[in-house]
Amino acid sequence: MTDTKDAAPGALTFETDRGASRSVWIAAAILVGIVGWMGSGFVAPAETEAEPEATETAEALPASVVVQTVTAEDVTLTFQAEGQAQPDRDTSLRASATGDVAEVLIEKGAIVETGDVLARLSDTRARADIARAEEDQARAQREIDSAQALLDRGVGTADRVADARATLATAQAQVANAREALADLNIVAPFGGRVETLSLDEGGFVSAGEEVGRIVDNRPLTVAIQVPQQVLNRIETGQSAEVQFITGETREGTVTFVGTSAAAETRTFLAEIEVANEDGAIPAGISAEVVIPTGTAQAQFLSPSIVSLDPQGEIGVKTVEDEIVRFYPIEIVKAELSGVWATGLPETAPIITIGQGFVQEGERVRVQTASESEPELAEVASDAASELAGDDDQ
């Protein structure tokens, strides 16, 4: 204890004991030991945390895809369009003369041939005109005979003979006109076909030029279609075509006309296909679907589900070459219910059939063939979905 003899009265003072500092050093040593022990707890786990890194590396393996090899085949290219069946000929029936209808020889819907008489107008006046014209012709003939006889005896003149001949020619022309007027009283079929309409009744009156009916010839039929300008060079006259009518009947046809001037509104060209219809069973005016073979090409058959777009919006499919994804632009040349035929791929191409939506061009992938992957399709799809979810989280 400190000597307090020299200290001021009433003040207490203390002096540190040298042995008391040992406890401070002991406490500091203990504290350092505890800190060291706690620090050692972070070293060991650091080694075990290397396992998640290994796991992350394992999870970073390339995506799995299923590949199926397709080989190009010869496929017949076709152009398909819808059109309308039109009759070969369709015209109105008109009266050539004026008069009363004396007789109607056919009914609406009748099948007629060229020159068949459909109806007759009253010929009373026409026959009278013929009789008068024939009488004038006979008189003119007698006149010329007399003038010629006088000229032969030397008591007649050549002018009289010439006048008589002129008179005879006029009379002959009148006879011809009268007979033609009689023929015009018959309303005849201009061509063979079916009488679609007929507005004649016995006792009715018609005027020259009046429409009295309509006749249609659908033997053969003509199917008119519109051809887009992109495929115009593939359609030529003489090509065969298959025509399926809305009634269910299918007939073979031939391209008989291809237009050379596009419609201003649609930029399409008219083409016509002639279809035999000798029995007249297929009516005109119905809808028809036309398929025209236009050549052959080497193409692969693809499922629509594997067709995708690249970042530029170009249509194509993804293949695998040396475990690297490659995108091939394609052109669809023919479509069917179960898939499409496309060109643009190599002759033999390993296309990605499962997982193509989760990989990009240039990416490395793990490849499984379609036959090997059948038992594992669900697992592959699950892995692909997990990988996509992981990409979304990042």
Cβ pair 217, 88 in contact under 8 A:
yes
pLDDT of residue 5: 46
Of the pLDDT bands very low, low, confident and very high (cuts 50, 70, 90), residue 281 is confident
What average pLDDT score do residues 52-66 get?
67
Share of the chain above pLDDT 70, in %: 81
CA–CA distance, 307 with 351 (Å, rounded to integer) = 10
DSSP string across 145-202: HHHHHHHHHTSS-HHHHHHHHHHHHHHHHHHHHHHHHHHTTEEE-SSSEEEEEE---T
Question: Is the pLDDT higher at 110 or at 4?
Answer: 110
Range 66-78 average pLDDT: 91
**What is the C-alpha separation between 275 and 200, in angstroms, rounded?**
33
Give the chain's domains with CATH numbers. 63-72+298-393 (2.40.420.20), 79-86+217-296 (2.40.30.170), 94-212 (no CATH)
Which residues, including other chains, have CB under 8 Å from residue 330's CB and lie 6 or more apart?
302, 307, 315, 316, 317, 342, 343, 344, 345
Highest mean pLDDT range out of 43-52, 69-78, 375-384? 69-78
C-alpha distance from residue 196 to each of 193, 213, 288, 309 (Å): 9, 7, 22, 55
Strand 339-343 relative to strand 331-336, pairing: antiparallel
Determine the residue type at 284. Answer: A
Q: What is the pLDDT of residues 38-50, one digit of tens each?
A: 666 555 454 445 4
- Say if residue 391's pLDDT is above 50: no
State how far the alpha carbon of 299 is from the alpha carbons of 201, 334, 347, 352, in Å: 65, 9, 8, 17
Residue 375 confidence (pLDDT): 46
Phi, psi for residue 285 in degrees, rounded to 5: 95, -10
| 385 has a pLDDT exceeding 50 | no
Task: Report pLDDT for 144.
Answer: 87
pLDDT above 60 (res 280): yes
The Cβ-side half-sphere exposure at 198, using a 13 Å CA radius, reads: 22
Rounded Cα gap, residues 373 and 147, in angstroms: 116
Using a 10 angstrom Cβ sphere, with 0-12 exposed, 13-18 middle and 19 or more buried, the burial of residue 258 is middle
Tokens of 337: 């219910």
Q: Apex CA 271: angle with CA 265 and CA 274, to 5°? A: 145
Q: Give the HSE-up count for residue 102: Cα atoms under 13 Å, Cβ half-sphere.
A: 14
pLDDT at 389: 45
- pLDDT score of 174: 93
Distance CA 295, CA 77 (A): 5
User: Given this model, what pLDDT does residue 36 score?
Assistant: 66
Residue 377: predicted pLDDT: 41
Q: Residue 20's pLDDT is what?
A: 57
Quote the pLDDT of residue 156. 79
Check whether 297 has a pLDDT greater than 70. Answer: yes
Q: Provide the pLDDT for residue 380.
A: 42
Q: Report the relative pairing of strands 193-198 and 240-245 from DSSP bridges.
A: unpaired
Average pLDDT for 324-340 = 90
Give the pLDDT of residue 334.
Answer: 87
Peptide bond before residue 220 is cis, with ω within 30 degrees of 0: yes
Cβ neighbour number for residue 235 with a 10 Å cutoff: 20
Q: Are strands 186-188 and 193-198 parallel, antiparallel or unpaired?
A: unpaired
Residue 379 has pLDDT above 70, yes or no: no
